[in-house]
Amino acid sequence: MVRYGKEHKQATRQRIIETAGRRFKRDGIDGSGISTLMADAGLTNGAFYAHFASKDDLVATAVADQLRAQYANVIEQAAPGIAGVEQIVRWYLSPQHRDSPDDGCPSAALLDEIGRSADATKQAYTDGVLAVIDGIAARLEPADPRSVHRKTLSVYAMMAGTLQLSRALADRRLSDELLDEGIRNALTLLGIQEPR
């Protein structure tokens, strides 16, 4: 029997988390069984319980990981100040983000299912989304990010709903127009003048 070191086990666990996060966003939490998730990671079902206590444990871990990735890849990469907030809004409400849910925001892809999930998943989501909100608020109002925290959270919710609706529309032109209007609305609500 081959024994693997801690590094291998951690790398395998991370592979499961990342592939599960993408699958959840594409097919939903309820639409993703353990056998499918493990096949995505190139592993057998039996290996699952060496890494996670339950599917709920994996869901909470994957949701937290997806929000950490969103923070690292979008929020941290954005320019400082208002220019960064505008970059974030334009990325979030872009046709590219709409068309690739498995690589995008877990909020727009999974919000309804997270709301029905176990408390650990809701807590992981809350912690992760508040970090994203803090990152945006710090760019919006660097001297006092707390003063715009609720407003930023509300605009984020509007953006997630706009993205969800844009994905559901069969009319591509209407979907594009919705995204454009969502950008204008988000920037207006955040007090950012859109360049003409």
Cα distance between residue 118 and residue 53, in whole Å: 14
Kindly list the distances between the CA atom of residue 76 and the CA atoms of 16, 69, 85, 103, 169, in Å, as whole numbers in the listed order: 24, 10, 11, 17, 31
Query: To the nearest 10°, the Cα dihedral for 19, 21, 22, 25?
Result: 150
How large is the average pLDDT for residues 68-94?
Answer: 96
Q: Is the pLDDT of residue 2 over 60?
A: no
User: In this predicted structure, what is the pLDDT of residue 35?
Assistant: 93
* 118 backbone dihedrals φ, ψ, rounded to 5°: -65, 160
Cα distance between residue 38 and residue 54, in whole Å: 13
Q: Is the pLDDT of residue 196 over 70?
A: no
Kindly list the distances between the CA atom of residue 142 and the CA atoms of 21, 46, 126, in Å, as whole numbers in the listed order: 32, 49, 22
What does pTM read for this prediction?
Answer: 0.88
List pLDDT tens digits, range 20-57: 999 999 999 999 999 999 999 999 888 899 999 999 99
What are the DSSP calls for 21-49, one per residue? HHHHHHH-STT--HHHHHHHTT--GGGGG
List pLDDT tens digits, range 175-184: 999 999 999 9
Q: How many CB atoms lie within 10 A of CB 174?
A: 12
User: In this predicted structure, what is the pLDDT of residue 4?
Assistant: 64
